[in-house]
Copies of this chain bind each other. A is one copy, B any other.
Amino acid sequence: MVLKNLLPDLPRGPLTRFRDQATFDWRRLKVFLQGEDNVAFTKKMVETLQKDPFFHREWKTGTLEQMRALNNRRWAKIVEYDFLEMGDEGGFPDMEKNGAFLTCLEQYDQGLAARYSLSALVFSSAIVSMGTEKHKALLEAAQSSQIVGCFALTELSHGSNTKDIRTTATFDAGDFVFHSPDIEAAKCWSGNLGQSATHAIVFAQLHVKGVCHGVHAFVLQVRDLRTLESLPGLTVGDMGEKPGAWNGVENGWLMFNRFRAPLSALLDKGSQVTPDGVYQTKHKSRQEQQSSSLGALSAGRVGIIQKGATAAQLAAVIAVRYSFVRRQFAPSEGAEEVPVIDYPLQKHRLFPILAGGVVVSIFQKRFNEHFINYMMKLISGEKSVEMAEISKEVHALSCATKPVSTWMGVRGLAEARLACGGHGYLKSSRLNDLRNDFDPSQTFEGENYMIIQQAANFLLSLDSQKAPKSPMASIDFLAKKVANFAGFSGDILRDAVEAYQWLVQYHLAEASAEIKRNVSKGMSSFDAKNRAQVAHCQPMAIAYAELTMLQWAVDVASEASSDLQQVLLKICKIYALANLEKHISAFYMGGYCSGAEFGKTLQEELSKAEEALTVDAVAICDAIAPDDFVLHSNLGASDGNVYERIFREFQKTANARPDWWPELVTKLRSKL
C-alpha cells in the first residue's frame, strides 16, 4: 500500500495483461534494486523536471549552438534546484543519493549529466585528492557551481599514454610557465572547456631547474569570470560536433603560449616546489608519483560501470516492451498474429541484454560501496598492506568490468534497435540516439581495450605459488585448481561459476606460458605481452569480469525475499549462460570438456531460461525503467500504445508541403 503511493499503477494499455502475469511485484523489485530512498528521491526529481518547460523535449535535433545553449540553461536549472541539497557551502553530496541523481540525469540526457559532474565532481575530486588547504576556496566554489571546472589531461597525440604528454610547466622566477611545444600537445577532449570553463585541472611535465620531474597536476584559471574571455597566453576553443547528446557538452582544446601561473597552481599534496625552486616529493618513485596524480581517474571508472548497465537497461526496456506489443505472422492461416517476443530468437536477442542490465547494475552498486569505503580510508590517510592490496584489486576490477559493462551496453542498444525493426530507426524510438550517447563510454576514463590489459596484468602478476587472498575476494578462487568438467550438478548456476573459474585459470596459465615462450625467443616484455592479448589476456580479463559480476549478483540475490530471489536467479542464469556461451570454444580447446554434452547443455539451458523469463519480462522492465518522461521513447513507453504514439507524431506533418516545393515543381515541369 505504501509502495503503491510511491509507485502508482502504470497506465493501462496493451502491456497491462503481460504485466499482470508476472510472478512478482515490480515495485518490490524496483525498491530492492534501487533502495526505497533512492526511488523516492528520483521520483521527486523527475516530477520537478517534468513541471519545468525547459526540460521538455521533442524528437528534433537542434543545431550545435542550440544544443549548447539549452544544455547550459538546463545545467543552471539543475544547480538551482539543488536536488542534492548542497546549499551554497560546497562539500560532497551523500554518495548514494548522488548515484541516484546521476543515473537519472544520464537516463535523461548524458550531455547534461556530464556538464554537471565534470565540474562538481571530477574537477572537485581532483582538488580533494591532490590539492591542499590553499585550494579550499576553489573547491568550494566548484562544488557550489560558482565556477565551472574541467579536467585537461589528454592531448591531441596522447590519450592512453598519459605519462608521455608533452605540455610543460617550467619553474621560472617563482612562477610556473606553461607551454605547448606544438599542435600535437594541444589539450583536447576536456569537457566544459570549449565554451564555459573558468578553471581547469591541467596535467603537465614539471620542469624545475633543468630537471623534468614527470607529470603533475595543476589548477589554473583559464577564463575571466566577468567576461568569459580566455586569459592572455592561452588559446582555447571548441572541438566541434560529435554524435548525439555529447554535442551538449563543449569538449574543448587548449594551447599554452608561455602562460604564467603562481606556485599555488600546483596541486601539492604529494609534491611541492618551494619559492626558490626546490622540488620536494613524498613519493618514493616517479611511478608512485604518477599513479597518485592519475588516481583521481578511477572514481570515474567505477561510476562508468553503471553507464553500461544503464545503457543495457534502456535498450532492454524499449525493445522488450515493444516486442510484446508488436505482432508479426500468424502460426496458421487466419489465426491471430503473435507478439514477436514469442519467437525464441527474439528472446535470445533481448533477454541477455535485460539480464546484463540488471546483473551489472547490482554488481556496480556493491562495488561502489567497497570503493567508497576504500576512498574514505585513503582520504583519512590510512596506509597498510591491506590498503595496498585493495587498491590493486579495485584498480584491476574496475579495469576489467568497465570495458565489459560498456561494451555490453552499447552492443545492447545496437541489437535493441535491430530487434525493433524499422520503427526502431525512428528518432522517437531513441535507440540510435542512445547508442551514440553511450558510445564514448567505451573510450573515456580509460580506453576499453587498453585498460582491460591492466586487469590482465594484475592477474598475471599474482604469485601462482602463494594462495592469493584478496580483500574483495574476487581472486580467491585462483588458490585452488578447478578440475575439468565431470558432468552437470543439477545447479546450473553453480556449474557456470565453476566453469568460469576454470576458464580464468586456463587463460592465466596459457597467457603466462605464452609470454614466457615469447621472452625466451628474445622478445621484449612489451612485445611478449602484446602477442598474448588476443588469444589469452583479453579473454581472461573478460572472464574475470563476468565471473565476478555474476557472483556478486548471485550473492545479492540471495539476500532478497523468496519471490524476488526467484526472479533474480532466473536473471542471473541467463546472464551466466549467455556470456558463458561465447567462451565455449575455449572450454573444448583447453580440454575442460569434450563431446557434445557440455556445450549443448549450456545452450539448451539458456533457451529454457529465456523461455522461463518471458512471463516476468514486462514486470522486470517496469522495475528498471525510468519514468516515461525520462525514457522518452515512443516504442518503450509503459502504456505500450506504440502505434498511437507514433501516429501522433506523424500527424504533425499531415499534408504539409516543404518550403522548396516550387523549386521541385519547376524542376519536374520543365521536362513534362
State the Cβ distance, A662 to closest chain B Cβ, in Å: 8
Write out the residue numbers on chain B whose beta carbons fall within 8 Å of the beta carbon of A671: 88, 144-146
Report the nearest B residue to A431, measured CB to CB. Answer: B243
A672 interfacial contact with B, CB 8 Å: yes
Query: Does B414 lie within 8 Å of A449, measured CB to CB?
Result: no
A147 interfacial contact with B, CB 8 Å: yes
Q: Which of A410, A439, A594, A596 is the most central at the interface, judged by chain B CB atoms within 10 Å of its CB? A: A439
A43 interfacial contact with B, CB 8 Å: no
**Assembled-state Cα–Cα distance A225/B243 (Å):** 38
**Assembled-state Cα–Cα distance A524/B330 (Å):** 12
Q: A68-B658, A668-B148 are in contact. Are A663 and B241 (CB under 8 A)?
A: no
Interface residues of A in 225-262 (CB under 8 A from B): 225-230, 235-244, 246, 250, 253
A588 interfacial contact with B, CB 8 Å: yes
A35 interfacial contact with B, CB 8 Å: no
Interface stretch of the complex, out of A18-26, A181-189, A473-481: A181-189
Query: Does B239 lie within 8 Å of A154, measured CB to CB?
Result: no
Write out the residue numbers on chain B whose beta carbons fall within 8 Å of the beta carbon of A603: 534-535
**Assembled-state Cα–Cα distance A433/B144 (Å):** 37
Query: Does A194 lie within 8 Å of B653, measured CB to CB?
Result: yes
A164 interfacial contact with B, CB 8 Å: yes
Query: Does A345 lie within 8 Å of B534, measured CB to CB?
Result: yes
State the Cβ distance, A457 to closest chain B Cβ, in Å: 13
The residue from B68, B146, B241 contacting A59, defined by CB atoms under 8 A apart: B241
Q: Which of A59, A414, A425, A433 is the most central at the interface, judged by chain B CB atoms within 10 Å of its CB? A: A425
State the Cβ distance, A180 to closest chain B Cβ, in Å: 11
Write out the residue numbers on chain B whose beta carbons fall within 8 Å of the beta carbon of A184: 643
| Binary contact readout A638-659 vs B (1 if CB under 8 angstroms, 0 otherwise) | 0000011011011111111111
The residue from B160, B227, B243, B349 contacting A665, defined by CB atoms under 8 A apart: B227
A590 interfacial contact with B, CB 8 Å: yes
Query: Does A448 lie within 8 Å of B643, measured CB to CB?
Result: no
The residue from B243, B331, B596, B652 contacting A526, defined by CB atoms under 8 A apart: B331
State the Cβ distance, A167 to closest chain B Cβ, in Å: 15
A605 interfacial contact with B, CB 8 Å: no
Query: Does B72 lie within 8 Å of A664, measured CB to CB?
Result: yes
Write out the residue numbers on chain B whose beta carbons fall within 8 Å of the beta carbon of A533: 343-345
**Assembled-state Cα–Cα distance A158/B414 (Å):** 22
Q: Which of A59, A195, A230, A447 is the most central at the interface, judged by chain B CB atoms within 10 Å of its CB? A: A195
A589 interfacial contact with B, CB 8 Å: yes
Query: Does A668 lie within 8 Å of B198, measured CB to CB?
Result: yes
**Assembled-state Cα–Cα distance A359/B229 (Å):** 54
State the Cβ distance, A433 to closest chain B Cβ, in Å: 7
A281 interfacial contact with B, CB 8 Å: no
Q: A229-B657, A447-B421, A665-B226 are in contact. Are A432 and B427 (CB under 8 A)?
A: no
The residue from B226, B433, B607, B643 contacting A183, defined by CB atoms under 8 A apart: B643
The residue from B88, B229, B646 contacting A655, defined by CB atoms under 8 A apart: B229
State the Cβ distance, A7 to closest chain B Cβ, in Å: 31
Q: A148-B668, A237-B654, A588-B594 are in contact. Are A422 and B439 (CB under 8 A)?
A: no
Interface residues of A in 89-115 (CB under 8 A from B): none
Interface residues of A in 563-598 (CB under 8 A from B): 581, 584-585, 588-591, 594-596
**Assembled-state Cα–Cα distance A33/B76 (Å):** 56
The residue from B442, B594, B661 contacting A594, defined by CB atoms under 8 A apart: B594
Q: A145-B671, A237-B655, A421-B160 are in contact. Are A433 and B243 (CB under 8 A)?
A: yes
| Binary contact readout A502-521 vs B (1 if CB under 8 angstroms, 0 otherwise) | 00000000000000000000
Q: A73-B663, A227-B665 are in contact. Are A448 and B241 (CB under 8 A)?
A: no
**Assembled-state Cα–Cα distance A427/B186 (Å):** 19
State the Cβ distance, A441 to closest chain B Cβ, in Å: 11
Write out the residue numbers on chain B whose beta carbons fall within 8 Å of the beta carbon of A186: 647, 650
Query: Does A668 lie within 8 Å of B531, measured CB to CB?
Result: no
**Assembled-state Cα–Cα distance A329/B344 (Å):** 46
The residue from B158, B160, B596 contacting A589, defined by CB atoms under 8 A apart: B596
Write out the residue numbers on chain B whose beta carbons fall within 8 Å of the beta carbon of A439: 417, 425, 432
Interface residues of A in 247-299 (CB under 8 A from B): 250, 253
| Binary contact readout A213-233 vs B (1 if CB under 8 angstroms, 0 otherwise) | 000000000000111111000
**Assembled-state Cα–Cα distance A443/B417 (Å):** 10
Interface residues of A in 341-369 (CB under 8 A from B): 343-345, 348-349
| Binary contact readout A154-178 vs B (1 if CB under 8 angstroms, 0 otherwise) | 1011111100100000000000000
The residue from B244, B440, B584 contacting A422, defined by CB atoms under 8 A apart: B440
Query: Does B534 lie within 8 Å of A76, measured CB to CB?
Result: no
A-B contact pairs, 12 of them (CB 8 A): A60-B241, A69-B660, A73-B663, A144-B671, A145-B668, A156-B647, A161-B337, A195-B656, A237-B650, A237-B651, A421-B443, A585-B585
Additional pairs, 10, CB under 8 Å, beyond known A239-B426, A243-B427: A61-B61, A72-B658, A147-B668, A226-B665, A228-B661, A228-B665, A235-B654, A240-B650, A242-B432, A584-B589
**Which 6 A-B pairs give the minimum distances between C-beta atoms?**
A241-B427, A588-B588, A584-B585, A237-B653, A243-B432, A238-B653
